[in-house]
């Protein structure tokens, strides 16, 4: 009987020590993972912020200055530019919240809608400069602009997390 009692006590002590060590290892692993993931997540937030800035109507127009193009050609260039930027940042959705990703997609879609709406309001004889002006006019009327709303959400999310 005493041997059984000693064995059970030893087993229980070893089990507690093992469980404690296992918990410590799990915590250490989480801590080291966090050290690696945190910079990657912050970089993802930075890339999404950059994307949202780049697709603002005034910024996309400045990056794609209209030359001797018609409305349809310029519309195509602007929409392609936005889609290309978005495709380049698709992998960032892994590191940001689903809510922020949805707001980012909405900002992209709404910006494309502004471009398409502006193009639809012009005639085929209109120039790319006419389209650029109309896009700016339409976007000024929006408060907040699609990218601004997503950027504000992004900033709020970062403040909550870090």
pLDDT tens for residues 68-123?
A: 899 999 999 999 999 999 999 999 999 999 999 999 999 999 999 999 999 999 99
State the pLDDT at residue 116: 98
Alpha helices in the chain (DSSP H): 2-54, 57-63, 71-88, 98-120, 128-141, 146-161
The residue extents of the domains of the chain are 2-161
Q: Do 70 and 128 touch, CB atoms closer than 8 A? A: yes
Q: Do 59 and 72 touch, CB atoms closer than 8 A? A: no
The tens digit of pLDDT for each residue in 18-64 reads 889 888 888 877 777 778 788 999 999 999 999 999 999 999 999 99
Question: How many residues would you count in the chain?
Answer: 162
pTM: 0.80
70 φ, ψ to 5°? -90, 180
Q: How far is CA 68 from the centre of its chain?
A: 34
């Amino acid at each position: 009987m005493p041997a059984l009692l000693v064995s059970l006590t030893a087993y229980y002590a070893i089990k507690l020590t093992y469980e404690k060590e296992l918990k410590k290892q799990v915590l250490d692993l989480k801590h080291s993972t966090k050290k690696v993931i945190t910079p990657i997540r912050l970089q993802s937030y930075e890339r999404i912020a950059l994307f949202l800035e780049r697709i603002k109507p005034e910024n996309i127009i400045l990056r794609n200055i209209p030359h001797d193009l018609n409305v349809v050609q310029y519309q195509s260039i602007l929409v392609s530019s936005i889609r290309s930027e978005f495709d380049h940042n698709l992998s960032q959705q892994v590191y940001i919240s689903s809510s922020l990703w949805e707001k980012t997609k909405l900002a992209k879609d709404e910006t494309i809608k502004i471009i398409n709406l502006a193009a639809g309001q012009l005639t085929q004889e209109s120039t790319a400069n006419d389209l650029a002006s109309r896009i700016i006019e339409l976007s000024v009327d929006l408060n907040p602009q699609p990218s601004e709303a997503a950027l504000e959400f992004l900033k709020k999310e970062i403040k909550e997390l870090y």
